[in-house]
Copies of this chain bind each other. A is one copy, B any other.
Amino acid sequence: MKKDSAVELSGVKEIARRANVSIGTVDRVIHNRSGVSEKTKQIIQDIIKELDYQPNIMARRLASNKVLNFAVLIPAVSDETEFWAAPLNGIEQAENEIRQYGIKVEKYYFDLNDKQSFVNLTKQILKTAIDGVLLAPSFIDESLAFTKQCDQLKIPYVLINSDLPKQDSLCYIGPELFHSGYLSAHLANYAIKDNGKVLIINISREIDNHHHLLRKEEGFRAYFDDHDKKLTIVKDDIRQTDYASVASSLKELLKAHTDAEAIFVTNSRVVSVARYLQESDHQKVLLIGYDYLKDNLAYLKDGLIDFLICQKPQEQGYKGIMALYQNLVLKVDVEKNYFMPIDIITKENYQFYRN
């Protein structure tokens, strides 16, 4: 009723007409299903190429009433791991956008302090029928075991926030850590005189497991090497993360180095340093740390923290889900490595920041 015959057709119908076959057969070759003679297959493929046929995704999703299941495995959000609220947020945003297209997202939260919880969840996930996985590979060996199984089952997976060495992931979406340290050094450098002094502080119970902290430190140091800057770098590892312990470590450290002009904290625990500086009424020193978290922002506003480095945690979650969607539904290629921008947050721009 709508189309008069003068209107040019397109889509499977037109292909079928030209090839003198039914649309069912066209569908078969489009999806590379078996049961088509080589000859008709060739004819149809030629026509598809000639017409530059683009399937209508909406119609496809509508007709194939299939739902796709994505599993998400990320750390649970807690006071200590507030960071993970942001990726989760992005994941849920993506979920809302593509629910329309028949995507279901099942979320699994592991305890960052409990390897076993991670392992248990991977087992649970593998028991269900899933089409794709979004993974934060916090525990390296355990993650490798999991991704290996995904490989075998031909389930694509996306890594966020930290990478796994040479895995066959669909893609990695997250920071390039070395450069964030390098950038921090540039910023710190504005406050450091020649022959001045800077402190690097790692605050983590698992400094040795958490190689990502070390990558930032390397980047930080590299900057000064590259620029032949003469300065003293003092590094301190603090392995007790409760505030009281951190404070007492800092007390000693700062007493020994009253001349430090800048402090670089390699993660979001910069908040403890800021708090200590405030409470001890320490003289102003340039302070750089990580992550757009509520407590950090408070000290940023107060001027105790000068710069926060942030790498769009929410977008990591969002992009992660969308990468699966693009690959599985739209059948398009996705970038193998999507490095997040290294954002500099200050008192003046934090209110406009978008995670």
A24 interfacial by beta-carbon distance below 8 Å? no
Q: Decide yes or no whether A39 CB sits under 8 A from chain B.
A: no
**Stretch of A83-91, A164-172, A334-342 with 4 or more beta carbons under 8 angstroms from chain B:** A334-342
Interface residues of A in 164-206 (CB under 8 A from B): 176, 179-180, 182-183, 186-187, 190-191
A180 CA to B348 CA, complexed, in Å: 8
A27 beta carbon closer than 8 Å to chain B: no
Q: A347 in the interface, Cβ–Cβ < 8 Å?
A: yes
Which residue of the partner chain, among B100, B101, B342, contacts A348 with CB atoms under 8 Å? B342
Complex contacts, A347 vs chain B, CB 8 Å:
186
Q: How many copies does the complex hold?
A: 2
Alpha-carbon distance A56/B344, docked complex (angstroms): 41
Asked if residues B344 and A352 are in contact (CB atoms below 8 Å), the reply is no
User: Which B residues are CB-close (under 8 A) to A344?
Assistant: 343-344, 346, 349
Q: Among B59, B183, B351, B352, which residue has its beta carbon within 8 angstroms of that of A340?
A: B352
Which residues of the other chain, B, contact A349 by a CB distance below 8 angstroms? Answer: 179-180, 183, 341-344
Q: Are B58 and A176 in contact (CB under 8 A)?
A: no
Whether A352 touches B190, Cβ cut-off 8 Å, given contacts A58-B61, A59-B62, A343-B343, is no
The CA of A100 and the CA of B55, in the complex, are separated in Å by: 9
**CA distance in complex: A344, B346 (Å):** 10
Chain B hits for A65, CB < 8 A: 2
Mark each residue of chain A from 316 to 355: 1 if its CB lies under 8 Å from any CB of chain B, else 0: 0000000000000000000000011111101111011110
Q: How far is the CA of A186 from the CA of B190 in the complex (A)?
A: 12
Choose among B59, B176, B352 the residue that contacts A341 (Cβ–Cβ < 8 A).
Answer: B352
Binding site for B on A (CB under 8 A): 2, 56-59, 61-62, 65, 100-101, 176, 179-180, 182-183, 186-187, 190-191, 223, 339-344, 346-349, 351-354
